Amino acid sequence: MNASEFRRRGKEMVDYVANYMEGIEGRQVYPDVEPGYLRPLIPAAAPQEPDTFEDIINDVEKIIMPGGCCLGRGSNQPIRCVQSLGAGGSLEKGLAPACKPPVPPYLEAASPACTELETVMMDWLGKMLELPKAFLNEKAGEGGGVIQGSASEATLVALLAARTKVIHRLQAASPELTQAAIMEKLVAYSSDQAHSSVERAGLIGGVKLKAIPSDGNFAMRASALQEALERDKAAGLIPFFMVATLGTTTCCSFDNLLEVGPICNKEDIWLHVDAAYAGSAFICPEFRHLLNGVEFADSFNFNPHKWLLVNFDCSAMWVKKRTDLTGAFRLDPTYLKHSHQDSGLITDYRHWQIPLGRRFRSLKMWFVFRMYGVKGLQAYIRKHVQLSHEFESLVRQDPRFEICVEVILGLVCFRLKGSNKVNEALLQRINSAKKIHLVPCHLRDKFVLRFAICSRTVESAHVQRAWEHIKELAADVLRAERE
């Protein structure tokens, strides 16, 4: 969608929302659809080719609106709707998210459309990734997908669920054990290249977290993990949770799932796979092998808001056993109970996450998947990877520079040959000039510059101009160092 079409469609959406609010008194106060009404109305998989905007908007009215209530929290609800405290909103507030029909998804019974569309969209996305069927919601399986706010939330939710599961298991075998006695011995693991959010999850969860040394390709391998497990078990600790990263933030390295996965399964350790950035690429068959080994995982997460054209926030998380989440987070005060909650026919996502309230994030996925089609999204990913290799080629042609790690997807780690000091000076000049902006990292003892292809509108010309700019500033830095 170009700027002109976006402007036109944006005006149409404002009209749609305004018309909705003007006619709100004529709307039904509470949905009367049956549980599971939405799935038969939507295809079982994402379209390969794009749909039209008109078709999508027509489906919003036909499929989504019947499954919404009287617009609870954060929107203009009818006078007749008195179910929630503090649920009124303003027209002014509505100008920001005008493209999203304001249906409140904080309770499944109030907004079945929100819940059921999320369930279907997570299955669409899971099929695009070719996830094992155990992770999908359909066909009465034990697993399922949920949209979290971020990969940080997903990691924390997985850790807390794993913690609850191991405590229950140990207390069932030894009832005399207290939760405190177990907690002080629990230990979780991740690669030394894992995102800082993993460490934060350990802090919030009140458990020890240990970093497993990565190999020469910055990947976690079986031997290092096994050594740490044997050492900690001998010390009386209880290994219970492990985070494997696919596409690390620092250099887009990949932990070896095919090696560490079987170990986690054998040792009864919850394996959570964090593919926050790289996961979007797995919709392309040529990159799907990077996900091999996910069948050993208990939970898997990536962020469509990073590289799949879905606006923030939208973090897709799947689990093999949804009861592992609901067992950790389920609470049912009287004011949240409803007639279908024990029917087995519906999914209450409030039991899958930390917050009670949640946004209608699946609608963004539905729009994007239909507007682009799977082929359009694959083309978008492939273009970015192609551009990253173009930048890599430019760097390799200049003998002053070096590539620091294999370029697999859209991230290039590079530096001037020489000291960290000269690379820090180069980065300072690049970011001070404010023509482009780079974020650095440390790979072992090296200060490294990171060039990430991430804009929807980036073209080869932008990559070429960026490289010319970097070369000019590098010449200045090297000249200054000689002087």
- The pLDDT value given to residue 89: 41
- The pLDDT value given to residue 332: 52
- The pLDDT value given to residue 429: 94
Question: Left, alpha or beta for 247 (phi > 0: left; psi -120 to 50: alpha)?
Answer: left
H or E segment and range at residue 189: strand 186-191
How far is it, in rounded angstroms, from Cα 400 to Cα 415? 9
Helix (H, G, I), strand (E, B) or coil at 254: strand
Hey, what CATH topology would domain 377-481 get? Aspartate Aminotransferase, domain 1 (3.90.1150)
Question: Could you tell me the sign of the dihedral formed by the alpha carbons of 82, 83, 85, 88, in that order?
Answer: negative
- The pLDDT value given to residue 330: 60
- The pLDDT value given to residue 101: 45
Q: Output the six-digit token pair for 326.
A: 């609901």
Could you report the average pLDDT of every consecutive run of 10 residues in the chain (483 residues)? 84 84 75 81 91 88 76 38 37 41 48 82 94 86 87 91 92 90 94 90 90 93 95 95 94 95 96 95 97 96 92 91 76 50 59 71 89 94 96 96 95 95 95 92 95 90 95 92 77
Residues of the chain with CATH 3.40.640.10: 101-359
- What does DSSP assign to residue 214? P
Listing DSSP states for 81-130 in one string gives: ---STT-B--TTGGGTTTTS-----SSTTT-HHHHHHHHHHHHHHHHHTT
Determine whether domain 101-359 maps to CATH 3.40.640.10.
Answer: yes
How far is it, in rounded angstroms, from Cα 182 to Cα 169? 11
- The pLDDT value given to residue 361: 83
How far is it, in rounded angstroms, from Cα 229 to Cα 226? 5
How far is it, in rounded angstroms, from Cα 224 to Cα 431? 38
- The pLDDT value given to residue 102: 43
Determine whether domain 3-82 maps to CATH 1.10.10.10.
Answer: no
How far is it, in rounded angstroms, from Cα 36 to Cα 139? 12
- The pLDDT value given to residue 329: 56
Question: Left, alpha or beta for 360 (phi > 0: left; psi -120 to 50: alpha)?
Answer: beta
Residues of the chain with CATH 3.90.1150.10: 377-481
- Residues in contact with 470: Cβ distance below 8 Å, sequence separation at least 6, in sequence order: 426, 430, 436
